[in-house]
Amino acid sequence: MAGSLPRERPRPARDPGLQPERTRLAWRRTTLSCTLVAILAGRQVVQHHGPGPVVVVAVALVLLVWLAFLAAAHLRMRAMGTGRPPVLSARTALALAGCVCALAVLGAAILL
Protein backbone atom coordinates (compact mmCIF):
# COMPACT_ATOMS: atom_id res chain seq x y z
CA MET A 1 0.00 0.00 0.00
CA ALA A 2 1.32 3.38 -0.94
CA GLY A 3 -0.37 5.33 1.86
CA SER A 4 0.26 3.05 4.82
CA LEU A 5 2.67 3.91 7.61
CA PRO A 6 5.89 1.93 7.83
CA ARG A 7 5.98 -0.71 10.52
CA GLU A 8 8.05 0.04 13.55
CA ARG A 9 10.85 -2.45 14.03
CA PRO A 10 11.27 -3.94 17.49
CA ARG A 11 14.12 -2.35 19.39
CA PRO A 12 16.99 -4.61 20.33
CA ALA A 13 17.97 -4.84 23.97
CA ARG A 14 19.98 -1.78 24.95
CA ASP A 15 23.70 -2.23 25.43
CA PRO A 16 24.66 1.00 27.17
CA GLY A 17 28.35 0.19 27.40
CA LEU A 18 30.23 2.87 29.32
CA GLN A 19 28.04 5.79 28.25
CA PRO A 20 25.97 5.97 31.48
CA GLU A 21 29.13 5.84 33.57
CA ARG A 22 30.72 8.66 31.56
CA THR A 23 27.54 10.71 31.93
CA ARG A 24 27.48 10.15 35.70
CA LEU A 25 31.11 11.21 35.90
CA ALA A 26 30.34 14.35 33.91
CA TRP A 27 27.50 15.19 36.30
CA ARG A 28 29.84 14.65 39.24
CA ARG A 29 32.48 16.96 37.75
CA THR A 30 29.90 19.64 37.13
CA THR A 31 28.55 19.27 40.67
CA LEU A 32 32.09 19.51 42.02
CA SER A 33 32.63 22.75 40.06
CA CYS A 34 29.43 24.22 41.46
CA THR A 35 30.45 23.14 44.96
CA LEU A 36 33.78 24.89 44.52
CA VAL A 37 32.00 28.14 43.59
CA ALA A 38 29.81 27.88 46.70
CA ILE A 39 32.83 27.21 48.93
CA LEU A 40 34.79 30.11 47.47
CA ALA A 41 31.77 32.38 47.96
CA GLY A 42 31.59 31.39 51.63
CA ARG A 43 35.34 31.86 52.00
CA GLN A 44 35.09 35.37 50.57
CA VAL A 45 32.56 36.33 53.24
CA VAL A 46 34.58 34.77 56.07
CA GLN A 47 37.78 36.58 55.06
CA HIS A 48 36.17 40.03 54.98
CA HIS A 49 35.37 41.71 58.25
CA GLY A 50 31.86 43.09 58.10
CA PRO A 51 30.81 42.14 54.55
CA GLY A 52 28.12 44.33 53.05
CA PRO A 53 24.52 43.20 52.76
CA VAL A 54 24.88 42.72 49.00
CA VAL A 55 27.64 40.16 49.52
CA VAL A 56 25.68 38.32 52.20
CA VAL A 57 22.59 38.15 49.95
CA ALA A 58 24.74 37.00 47.02
CA VAL A 59 26.27 34.21 49.12
CA ALA A 60 22.82 33.13 50.31
CA LEU A 61 21.65 33.01 46.68
CA VAL A 62 24.75 31.03 45.70
CA LEU A 63 23.95 28.46 48.37
CA LEU A 64 20.31 28.27 47.28
CA VAL A 65 21.22 27.84 43.61
CA TRP A 66 23.89 25.29 44.54
CA LEU A 67 21.37 23.22 46.51
CA ALA A 68 18.91 23.29 43.60
CA PHE A 69 21.61 22.21 41.15
CA LEU A 70 22.84 19.50 43.52
CA ALA A 71 19.34 18.05 43.88
CA ALA A 72 18.70 18.05 40.12
CA ALA A 73 22.11 16.54 39.36
CA HIS A 74 21.59 13.83 41.97
CA LEU A 75 18.26 12.86 40.42
CA ARG A 76 19.84 12.76 36.97
CA MET A 77 22.75 10.61 38.17
CA ARG A 78 20.30 8.16 39.73
CA ALA A 79 18.34 8.05 36.47
CA MET A 80 21.51 6.96 34.67
CA GLY A 81 21.41 3.73 36.66
CA THR A 82 18.23 2.52 34.96
CA GLY A 83 18.21 0.33 31.87
CA ARG A 84 16.97 3.12 29.63
CA PRO A 85 17.29 6.52 31.34
CA PRO A 86 14.57 9.05 30.53
CA VAL A 87 15.43 11.91 28.20
CA LEU A 88 16.33 15.12 29.97
CA SER A 89 13.36 17.43 29.50
CA ALA A 90 13.85 20.87 27.99
CA ARG A 91 12.48 22.45 31.17
CA THR A 92 15.02 20.65 33.37
CA ALA A 93 17.87 21.44 30.98
CA LEU A 94 16.89 25.11 30.98
CA ALA A 95 16.71 25.15 34.80
CA LEU A 96 20.13 23.54 35.11
CA ALA A 97 21.65 25.95 32.60
CA GLY A 98 20.08 28.81 34.56
CA CYS A 99 21.65 27.48 37.78
CA VAL A 100 25.09 27.37 36.18
CA CYS A 101 24.72 30.89 34.77
CA ALA A 102 23.42 32.20 38.10
CA LEU A 103 26.39 30.66 39.93
CA ALA A 104 28.79 32.32 37.50
CA VAL A 105 27.14 35.73 37.83
CA LEU A 106 26.81 35.54 41.62
CA GLY A 107 30.39 34.30 41.97
CA ALA A 108 31.61 37.28 39.95
CA ALA A 109 29.42 39.66 41.96
CA ILE A 110 30.91 38.42 45.22
CA LEU A 111 34.46 38.94 43.96
CA LEU A 112 33.80 42.51 42.82
Q: Which domain holds residue 82?
A: 21-111
In a domain, 27, yes or no: yes
- What pTM does this model have? 0.69
Residues 52-102: pLDDT tens digits?
A: 787 778 888 888 998 998 998 888 888 877 777 788 889 888 988 998 898
Residues 20-53: pLDDT tens digits?
A: 788 888 889 989 988 888 888 788 777 876 777 8
Residues in the chain: 112
In a domain, 16, yes or no: no
Number of independent structural domains in the chain: 1
B/e letters for 29-67, b = 16+ CB within 10 Å, e = fewer, are: ebbeebeebbeebeebbeeeeeeeeebeebbebbeebbe
